[in-house]
Amino acid sequence: MNKVLTVGIAIVVSTFIATNAILLFSDKSEIARSYYVHEYDRVHESTYTKELEKESVVVPANEMIVTIDVEAISDIVVLEGDIVQQGMELALLNTQSADVQRAHWESEQQAYMEEQSRLYEILDNLESERYGADTNSTSNQSAEGETTVNVQVDVNVSPEGNFAQAIAETEQKIAEIDRKLQIVSTQLSQESGETALLSPINGNIAAIEERNGTYFITIYADEKSVITYAKEAEWHQINEGQRVNNYSAHREGVVEGIVSTKTQVPANESKWLKAYEQFGENTEEPLYEVQIQLDEQLETLPFSANVNSVFITNEVENAIRVKANWLLNRSEETAEVYTLSEDGKIMRTQVTVPFDLDKHAILSEGLQTDSIVLNADPKTDEAPAFLPFPRELPSWNSIKAIGWKDYLRYLTYK
């Protein structure tokens, strides 16, 4: 009888202890208890940036192509690679064709000015009716004297109202007309009767070609910029106006700049794309051109030189960094973390997470300097927590700085 009673009491006591242990120490326990948290971090505010590193190529900020009929030229006085100044002679005209050529330039100037005026009108309409009409299409044709210059302006806006793209296309066409006007205006700046083809800008002669009875003289402006080519995944990370830091092995320091343009159409084969492929990775994916406007010039670097460009795709000031796997209930840019209140209680804190960086989450809102963040192990809200006692071992240099006499005096001090 005593044996049966003893076994029964033992079973009851064991069941009671086991049940309380489950209720107390289970992960889903609602009973308040103290937690020993061996993983925690006292955080501090700082500035964090997310970067995209790309190989880039040095290109001219402006490229002009001066054209003229072969029959109008008596001699070309420059060679490829020559440095030219604005107004310097590129070629000499035949005396008998000088007047005809000047009339041609005057006719071109008139047509380009009319086209420029019409483009600015279209640009004003697009900006004022950004949320209005679905399509704007305009054409303009001008003819004067014996020379006919056809001008076509065609800007389409999609039914979805993609006015930003239409405005960008219009601004690009305005820039093209400005370049053509600059070329023609330079030629007309000569006194009537002078017989020369002049350079419209300061720069370098990049190429002199003859095609179908016309000379094409390509001039690279002295001002330089940088271009790179992005895959689709990178294209979505890059936006116009983003800061870019540019580095070269042949130039000290960093040259800052911004993204000036990124194309929506895959890049065609070009000399700059070929130069990029020598430095960048080879891929079968479509590549999109991204142009970088520099804050200062790269006089010491030649065209097609390699540059390492670092795009600042995201930046947050006064932000907090915590381990990414310490986040709870993460959804897009929001999450929760366990933190410790001033009275030592565990609490959940809502945070904003703009991006991740090196296996850490960057938090822009929710925490501040000296906040204590706990790991993601399940815990009960409002439960007390205690942390490991911080240890700071003395360095060997500090030990050697004190002699044995000092140790003896401290040990025998009363």
Residue 326 near residue 82 (C-beta atoms within 8 A): no
Segments of the chain assigned to CATH 2.40.30.170 = 50-59+223-314
pLDDT band at 142 (very low <50, low <70, confident <90, very high): very low
CA distances from 83 to 79, 142, 220, 297 (A): 9, 36, 10, 17
- Inter-residue contact 306 to 279 (CB < 8 Å): yes
Mean pLDDT of 212-228: 92
Each as own residue / partner, the long-range contacts of residues 330-336 (CB below 8 Å, 24 or more positions apart, any chain) are 335/361
Contact call for residues 336 and 328 (beta carbons, < 8 A): yes
Quick one: tokens of 133? Answer: 């009409």
Q: Can you tell me the mean pLDDT for 227-234?
A: 94
Asked whether residue 365 carries a pLDDT value surpassing 90, the answer given is yes
Q: Residue 310 and residue 315: Cα distance in Å, rounded?
A: 13
Q: What is the rounded radius of gyration, in angstroms, for the C-alpha atoms of the chain?
A: 36
Phi, psi of 124, rounded to the nearest 5 degrees: -65, -40
Confidence of residue 414 (pLDDT cuts 50, 70, 90): low
In three-state secondary structure terms, 22 is: helix
Tell me the mean pLDDT in the region 207-232: 92
Q: Is the pLDDT of residue 224 over 70?
A: yes
Is the pLDDT at 339 greater than 60? The verdict is yes
Q: Poorest-confidence range of 171-175, 268-272, 320-324, 401-405? A: 401-405
Whether this model's pTM surpasses 0.85: no
Q: How far apart are CA 406 and CA 401, in angstroms?
A: 10
State the CATH architecture for 50-59+223-314: Beta Barrel (2.40)
- Crossing angle of helices 98-128 and 163-188, in 10° steps, is 160
User: Cα separation of 52 and 313, whole Å?
Assistant: 7
Mean pLDDT for the stretch of residues 52-69:
91
- CB neighbour list of residue 68: distance below 8 Å, 6 or more residues apart: 91, 101, 197, 214, 215, 217
**Mean per-residue pLDDT over the chain, rounded:** 83
> What is the C-alpha to C-alpha distance for residues 138 and 122, in angstroms, rounded to an integer?
8
pLDDT beyond 80 at 400: no
CB 170 within 8 A of CB 136: no
Q: Which of 340, 108, 78 has the alpha carbon at shortest distance from 206?
A: 78
pLDDT value at 284 more than 60: yes
Which two three-digit tokens encode residue 231?
Answer: 């895959």
> Among residues 179, 180, 32, 194, which one has the least CA distance to residue 101?
194
Calculate the alpha carbon distances from 327 to 139, 318, 333, 371 in Å.
Answer: 58, 19, 11, 15
Q: Is the pLDDT of residue 301 over 60?
A: yes
Strand, helix or coil for residue 323: strand
